[in-house]
């Protein structure tokens, strides 16, 4: 078994502006029928039925849920999911916050987390790692992917906020190109994961605020949400293709 993941862009869906076009967030003001069609297209591209994709009602918290089968509705007040089941695909919705995907292929355990400023500060990344360990994963075997998010050059915040987050998430304080205080949450999360024994951390260097193919709340609200997804594949032939399957691309062509 091997974990596979993908990250969608804003292309390939049916939603009109300002949600154009592959908006996967049901909560942002887009028409539900458009979002459901976009989710159906996503599921088709992954060769699964829509009900197998597990969504969360993300609240910028630190609650981690274990799932072992498809669920009907979004998991309430949840910001991370872990599983050992091949029957589900774990999904994180973002548009500047940090999506984190994690896998221990030896233990066949995967996890997905939504890390906004508050969740990152309060240790959501550590909590999902701990929950994966409960299911049999080893920290040294976990591979992490940090998806597209607001970068340190763009994510401007007040000085005291940057200092507060950095005190809990070392390395996250940064500066914008103008020299004002900012946060580099992806770097802080990478540092945190490595500090607890996660050896392999891959970062998508795209900044959502700068990259036009991604949704960004800071660049222009209202807007849609893209998804970062991870699942366990039973196809052993994919095992030597992990590097190639772990790429960021349109999930819907």
pTM: 0.93
Residue 190's pLDDT is 99
Provide the CA 91 distance to its chain's centre, in angstroms.
Answer: 7
* Close Cβ partners of 36 (under 8 Å, ≥ 6 residues apart): 26, 50
pLDDT digits (tens, 9 = 90+) for 188-215: 999 999 999 999 999 999 999 999 999 9
Q: Both tokens of residue 180?
A: 């004002």
With a cut of 50, say whether residue 243 has pLDDT above it.
no
Q: What is the mean pLDDT of residues 15-34?
A: 98
Give the angle 213-219-221 at the CA atoms, nearest 5°: 105
Pick the CATH number of 2-236 from 3.90.420.10, 3.30.420.40, 3.60.140.10, 3.40.50.11900: 3.60.140.10
Please enumerate in sequence order all residues whose Cβ is within 8 A of that of 252, keeping only pairs 6 or more positions apart, or say none: 8, 11, 12, 13, 22, 38, 41, 42, 44, 45
- 3-state DSSP assignment of residue 183: strand
* Per-residue pLDDT at 81 exceeds 70: yes
Q: Find the helix or strand (DSSP H, E) in which 41 lies.
A: helix 32-46
Task: Tell me: pLDDT of 238 over 90.
Answer: no
């Amino acid at each position: 078994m091997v974990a596979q993941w993908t990250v969608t862009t804003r292309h390939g869906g049916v939603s009109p502006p300002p949600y154009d076009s592959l908006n996967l967030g049901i909560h942002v003001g887009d028409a539900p029928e458009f979002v459901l069609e976009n989710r159906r297209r996503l599921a088709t591209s992954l060769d699964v039925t829509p009900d197998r994709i597990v969504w969360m009602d993300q609240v910028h918290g630190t609650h981690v849920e274990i799932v072992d089968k498809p669920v009907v509705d979004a998991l309430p007040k949840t910001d991370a999911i872990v599983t050992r089941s091949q029957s589900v695909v774990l999904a994180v919705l973002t548009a500047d916050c940090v999506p984190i995907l994690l896998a221990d292929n030896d233990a066949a355990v995967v996890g997905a987390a939504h890390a906004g400023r508050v969740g990152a500060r309060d240790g959501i990344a550590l909590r999902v790692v701990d929950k994966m360990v409960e299911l049999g994963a080893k920290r040294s075997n976990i591979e992490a992917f940090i998806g597209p998010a607001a970068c340190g050059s763009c994510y401007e915040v007040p000085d005291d906020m940057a200092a507060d987050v950095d005190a809990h998430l070392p390395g996250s304080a940064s500066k914008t190109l103008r020299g004002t205080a900012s946060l580099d949450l992806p770097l802080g999360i990478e540092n945190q994961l490595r500090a607890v024994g996660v050896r392999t951390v891959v970062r998508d260097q795209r900044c959502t605020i700068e990259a036009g193919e991604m949704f960004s709340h800071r660049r222009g609200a209202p807007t849609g949400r893209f998804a970062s997804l991870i699942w366990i594949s039973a196809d052993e032939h994919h095992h030597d293709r992990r590097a190639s399957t772990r790429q960021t691309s349109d999930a819907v062509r």
